[in-house]
Each structure stands twice: as structure tokens, then as C-alpha cells.
Chain A
């Protein structure tokens, strides 16, 4: 991973001597007609998105995105503020439904089932596509109840012992068990920021989802807590498919296998993380990862 960063910074140094923003704008104009650079398709995807457009009232936030999300992989979505990466992420579990004026068109399929199909219930969808938010948001309840809430409402546990087991395994998977096992009845809000975020990850895991969406999960955390979460994301890849939105490019480079670069509501480039950070094919991607804007 360090190698990747080193290489990308080398490119940055090289590019500093290059041409200015006019070129960037030129490329931007071209890209509007040309579509996404890179390989949007994967073999045996977990989720497939085709022609996804998102509108907030009259304003279009996302334009014609095609993207596959591969199984047991971490895909990171990067891009400058307001580029639509969070909006796109929130389409994947229909979290955008809560915003009245938000309208999504196109097709997002999970295991062949269109999640925007009128007949599909969002409750099971959100159970299989869990979400971790930017700011840790544990319920103002005990640690145990934070984890147990999801399984309880979905009726996943057979009895009290089973629920105990789910809580324990979820906390273990989130790497929090050792720290909180003696105080499961303490409020979840009393934990430190990093612990709270891991609690939220454990809460998402507890309903055994297939996909976990993470919306800038480390932006409110210090470097040590961030490192722990990143470590955790790498471990979770084994069992879950993870899509993460991040502002920190180093983080994308460290935790993800694939990276998608968004710009002004469009998916500019997608590819293997190594490739994106070492040899970006699109000018905008290159400008962004080298720190020319963003």
C-alpha cells in the first residue's frame, strides 16, 4: 500500500509542472459525452447499477452511472465535495427515499432483483444492505441493545441466548468485544468516537447483511481510531461486500481494491485501486489524485 502512495506522489510531482485548469475543463467537456473510463463490469457482481440518475427536485445530482460492485471486495468512491458520491451510495440501500424531493431513475439490481422495483420492500433490502454513517450514531441505549435492536425487529434470534450470541459475535467481528464485554449494559453513547463507530459497524453486521455501505466512516475520528476502522474494513471484506465513500485518498488506497472517481455527478473513472492511483487514465482523475483540485 505504501508503495502505491509513493508512486502517486511521484506522479503528483511530475504533474505539477504540467498544464493548468483549462485543460481540466476541456477534458470535463469531453467526458460528458464520452462516459466512464475504465472497467465498470466485473464477473459475478453483487450489485449492478445501470443508467442511474438522481434528481433533487429539478436539479440533477447524478448522471447516467453504470457500475458493478464485486463480491467480497471493498470499492471506494472518491471525488471532490458535492460530486454525488454520497448520493450514489445512499441509492444502494434506498436511503434517499427519506428525502421527499429525491427521485431516482435507472436500474440498481442486487442478485438479479431490481431494488427500485415497486413491489420490493425496503425493510429487507436495508437488512441486507447495511449502512454506517459519517458521524457515529449509536442509539441512546445500552451497547447490548444497540446491537440487539436489528436482530430483534427482524426476528432473527430464536431466544435470549441466541441474541446474546449474535451480540457477542457481532462485537467480536467489529473488534470491540474485548473493550466492552464487561459493560454491555452501559450506554453506547458513552464510548469514545472510534468505539462508537465500531459499535455502529457491529450494529450493521448484527443483521447479517451482504453489503455494508460506509459514508465517510472515519471523517469524525482521530488517526488511531481511523487506523483501527481501516484494519477492520480489511477483515470484514472476507465476509461482506463493502462500498465506502471517503475524502481521504490515502484511505481509499489503503482499504479498497477498486476505486471509482466521481466528478460533478458523473462517474469519471473506475478501476483497480492500484491502477487508479498509479496510472489514472482520465485527466480529471489524475488532477484530483495529484491534488490539483478537490
Chain B
């Protein structure tokens, strides 16, 4: 190396070193930026989870009141009566009222009595009727049973009612407060696990409302959606990717599928309303129509994911199969599809999770109706989880606030478990080559 070269080398090295600090600084800043983005995301997610949980966890408990009910033969039916028609016709609401009057004999005023009866849920009468229908021999006897308290009482016990407000601004009045305190002192008030929330359909009374109707409706809707969108989506993807000639028509179809994936979901709702309900005359509010609409919405997602999965199968596998004389069909069904299936399943489950959380298109086909019954099939009117959340969030009663959050928790549990299933399936069936 001569002197000039040596100098040249030293010059360039000094420049490199000068720039080095700047390069490292840029790298550090880049890292910080990425970390900051992730931390911010985590912050928001944790805020979401914390607020939902904080709002909703109380919904898993419900206040119950112990009543010493006298199964009055005069109100229900004579002792020994077993005919269900007669038994169910009894005036059970009267029994609850009588029990409450017994508990607080000092209340005589008609208006006060009404306030007193308001402490107990209207569901109590149904519960007593159930009890009598199950075992008619209790008629004429006295028994202590736990019945749900009214939602206002429930809110009071859970501390959601601000007692510093003037009486006129409160749902619970001063005398009601004293009666509740009296019952509490007697050990007649207790918070218990809220089975109703998981076992009942919707209701106007918060303490009687549950998520089961919506969950079952969501289940049927997704079942229909899966049964249609998975086979159709996979078939379309296989055709487009493996069979169809590459020409202007297939290009056009591909562009359209990509466009459909970006169409706002409410448009699919309108499409479903026009096609399935108005043209084919299917009933409104049923999971069948909901599933069909969601299938239309999910299809582009599944087709795109499946095509990506098919594309990622190495061509060497196709060549190997063709090389031993497999027909194109055998190559696809024996080799390409099994290898692409994990990717297809992942895409499908993510599409299904998206469909599970979808509200807008279902509003268009009448799934926003207030439905109390738990659907028995895909042709029964029903609600779905996200629509139930929407309905409850819209309700004025304070007790629906915590139920909304609880329903969101249930929905999130379903979504997270579906995504975990997708991850698990991918891990399990993923093969290396």
C-alpha cells in the first residue's frame, strides 16, 4: 500500500467513524419508536380490558332476598290439587305481596305498599310458581325461599346508587332504604352467583335478563355462516388458483373479490334484506338469514386467505405429484389441499371471529328485535351477542350498564378462544418441507 492509498483509506475511515454515531442514534430512535407504538397499543388494550372488567364483574352476582312464603291454598289451589293448568293459573304475585306485607306489617298506606312490593323482582312470582308446579305438595305449607331482588335494590347493594343525592333524584326512596336495611339486619339479603345471566334470554327487567338467547343465536348464525362460507370459499379459491386460466376474466373476478372484502358490512345487510327476505321471503330476525348475510361478508376474507395458503404450497410438491403421474385433481386433493389447509382454517376462523362481532348487517335484517325466548333452531327469531350488547347499552336502567360490560366480556372470551384455536390449529397442522 503506497502512501496516497494509505491516506485515502484513513480519510474514508474517519468519515465512516464520524457517521457511525449518527447511524447508531438513528437505529436507537427507530427502536424506541417501535417500542413506544407497542406500549401505546398495550396501554389502550389494557385500559379497554380494565374498564370493561371494572364495569362488568358485578353483573356476575345478583342480590337475592329471603322470603318466608306461605303457599296459601286459597290463592293457589286447594291442597292436593295436581292439575298443572289449575296450578299455573294461581295468583302467585299475590303470594309475594302477602309475604312482604307480613314482613313489614307497619306498611298500610297503598302507595307505600306499592313501593314495598317494588323491592322484589317480578321474577319472584314465576319462581314460586315453578316451585309449586314441581312439587304441588308444598301447598298449605310455609317455606323460606331466595328470590331475586329488584334491579334497583341490586344496584343499591352493589353500591351503584349515590345516597347523598336528594330523595327525589334517587331510584330508592328513604323508606325503601329503611326496609332494605331491616331485611339486611335479619340476614334476608344476600349476593349470590348470577346463574340467570347465563341461563336466560333477554328481558325488560335487568335482574331477569341473560345472555343465553343471544349466545345460542350467535352459535346458530355462525354455524350457518361456516357451513356456507367455508366450502364455497375454499372451492372458489381452489378454482381460481389451480384450475382457472389466467386471463382478463379471472383478473376481473380477483379485483372484484378484493373489492368485496372492503365493502362496508352494512351494505351486505341491505343485500341480505333485498335478496333473502324480500325476494326469497325468508323470515326476519332468524339466524338462517343472519348466517347467509355473514357468509356473504366472510367469503372474500376466506377466499383471499385460502388463495394465499394455496400459493404458499411450494411448486416442487405439485411437480412431484405430477411427476409420478397424479392427475391435476389428485395433485390438488392429495397434496396441495392438505398442505394449504392450516392456512385456510386460520383464515376461516379469523373470518368467523369477524362475523361473530358483526352488528351492522344484522340490524338490517331485523336481528335487533327484542326476543325473550332462547332460539331452538336456525329458523327461530333470535338475537346475537353483539346486537344484545347494543340493545343493553341502549337501555336506560342502571343495572344494564354492568350487564353490557359482562356481555362484552363473554363476547371477548369467545373471540379470544377462536383466535387461540386458529393459532393452535396452525401450529398443529403446519408441516415443513
Residue total for A at the interface (Cβ-Cβ under 8 A): 28
> What is the bound-complex CA distance between A149 and B245, given in angstroms?
28
Q: A186-215 interface mask toward B, CB cutoff 8 Å, 1 = contact, 0 = none?
A: 000100000000001001101100000000
Known A100-B246, A189-B432; judge A139-B325 contact (CB<8 A): no
Is there a chain B Cβ closer than 8 Å to A126's Cβ? Answer: yes
Q: B329-357 interface mask toward A, CB cutoff 8 Å, 1 = contact, 0 = none?
A: 01000110001000000000000000000
Is B322 a contact of A139 with CB atoms below 8 Å? Answer: no
Least CB distance from B111 to A in Å reads: 79
Label chain A's interface by main secondary structure: helix
> What is the bound-complex CA distance between A22 and B318, given in angstroms?
44
Label chain B's interface by main secondary structure: helix
Is there a chain A Cβ closer than 8 Å to B431's Cβ? Answer: yes
Is A137 a contact of B322 with CB atoms below 8 Å? Answer: no
Is there a chain B Cβ closer than 8 Å to A276's Cβ? Answer: no
Q: Identify B325's interface contact among A98, A100, A127, A200, CB under 8 A.
A: A127
| Number of CB contacts from chain A to chain B under 8 A | 70
Query: CB within 8 Å of B: which of A39-65?
Result: none
Is there a chain A Cβ closer than 8 Å to B105's Cβ? Answer: no
Is there a chain B Cβ closer than 8 Å to A260's Cβ? Answer: no
> What is the bound-complex CA distance between A133 and B318, given in angstroms?
12
Q: Which residues of B contact A135 (CB under 8 A)?
A: 316
Is A131 a contact of B323 with CB atoms below 8 Å? Answer: yes
Q: Which residues of A contact B327 (CB under 8 A)?
A: 123
Known A100-B246, A135-B316, A140-B431; judge A95-B323 contact (CB<8 A): yes
Known A100-B246, A149-B334, A189-B433; judge A154-B318 contact (CB<8 A): no
> What is the bound-complex CA distance between A162 and B322, given in angstroms?
23
Q: Which residues of B contact A150 (CB under 8 A)?
A: 324-325
Q: Identify A137's interface contact among B317, B325, B339, B432, CB under 8 A.
A: B317
Q: Identify B324's interface contact among A100, A149, A189, CB under 8 A.
A: A149
> What is the bound-complex CA distance between A189 and B322, given in angstroms?
18
> What is the bound-complex CA distance between A124 and B323, given in angstroms?
11
Is there a chain B Cβ closer than 8 Å to A153's Cβ? Answer: yes
Is A153 a contact of B432 with CB atoms below 8 Å? Answer: no
> What is the bound-complex CA distance between A150 and B319, given in angstroms?
13
Is there a chain B Cβ closer than 8 Å to A265's Cβ? Answer: no
Is there a chain A Cβ closer than 8 Å to B321's Cβ? Answer: yes
Query: CB within 8 Å of A: which of B80-113?
Result: none
Least CB distance from B337 to A in Å reads: 13
Is there a chain B Cβ closer than 8 Å to A217's Cβ? Answer: no
Least CB distance from A25 to B in Å reads: 36
Is there a chain B Cβ closer than 8 Å to A93's Cβ? Answer: yes
Is there a chain A Cβ closer than 8 Å to B50's Cβ? Answer: no
Q: Which residues of B contact A206 (CB under 8 A)?
A: 324
Is B323 a contact of A140 with CB atoms below 8 Å? Answer: no
Known A100-B246, A140-B431; judge A204-B334 contact (CB<8 A): no
Least CB distance from B336 to A in Å reads: 11
Is B320 a contact of A130 with CB atoms below 8 Å? Answer: no
Least CB distance from B76 to A in Å reads: 71
> What is the bound-complex CA distance between A125 and B324, given in angstroms?
10
Is A126 a contact of B320 with CB atoms below 8 Å? Answer: no
Is there a chain A Cβ closer than 8 Å to B326's Cβ? Answer: yes
Known A149-B334, A189-B432; judge A126-B325 contact (CB<8 A): yes
Q: Identify B433's interface contact among A126, A140, A200, CB under 8 A.
A: A140
Is there a chain B Cβ closer than 8 Å to A175's Cβ? Answer: no
Q: Which residues of B contact A131 (CB under 8 A)?
A: 319, 323
Is A137 a contact of B316 with CB atoms below 8 Å? Answer: yes
Most chain B beta carbons < 10 A, residue from A124, A132, A137, A154: A137
Is there a chain B Cβ closer than 8 Å to A271's Cβ? Answer: no
Least CB distance from A195 to B in Å reads: 15
Q: Identify B317's interface contact among A100, A139, A204, A207, CB under 8 A.
A: A139
Is A207 a contact of B320 with CB atoms below 8 Å? Answer: no
> What is the bound-complex CA distance between A100 and B243, given in angstroms?
11
Is B324 a contact of A130 with CB atoms below 8 Å? Answer: yes
Closest-by-CB residue of A relative to B330 is: A153
> What is the bound-complex CA distance between A154 and B321, given in angstroms?
12
Closest-by-CB residue of A relative to B339 is: A140
Is there a chain B Cβ closer than 8 Å to A280's Cβ? Answer: no
Is there a chain B Cβ closer than 8 Å to A79's Cβ? Answer: no
Q: Which residues of A contact B330 (CB under 8 A)?
A: 153
Q: Which residues of A contact B432 (CB under 8 A)?
A: 140, 189
Is B318 a contact of A98 with CB atoms below 8 Å? Answer: yes
Q: Which residues of B contact A123 (CB under 8 A)?
A: 325-327
Is A133 a contact of B325 with CB atoms below 8 Å? Answer: no
Q: A106-142 interface mask toward B, CB cutoff 8 Å, 1 = contact, 0 = none?
A: 0000000000000000011111001111010111100
Least CB distance from A217 to B in Å reads: 12
> What is the bound-complex CA distance between A25 and B263, given in angstroms?
60
Q: Identify A126's interface contact among B317, B323, B335, CB under 8 A.
A: B323
Is B323 a contact of A133 with CB atoms below 8 Å? Answer: yes
Least CB distance from A108 to B in Å reads: 17
Known A140-B431, A189-B432, A189-B433; judge A95-B324 contact (CB<8 A): no
B-binding residues in A (CB < 8 A): 93, 95, 98, 100, 123-127, 130-133, 135, 137-140, 149-150, 153-154, 189, 200, 203-204, 206-207
What 10 pairs between A and B have smallest CB-CB spacing? A127-B325, A137-B316, A150-B324, A131-B323, A126-B325, A140-B431, A137-B320, A140-B433, A123-B325, A123-B327
A-B contact list, 7 entries, CB within 8 Å: A95-B322, A123-B325, A125-B325, A126-B323, A126-B325, A130-B324, A138-B320
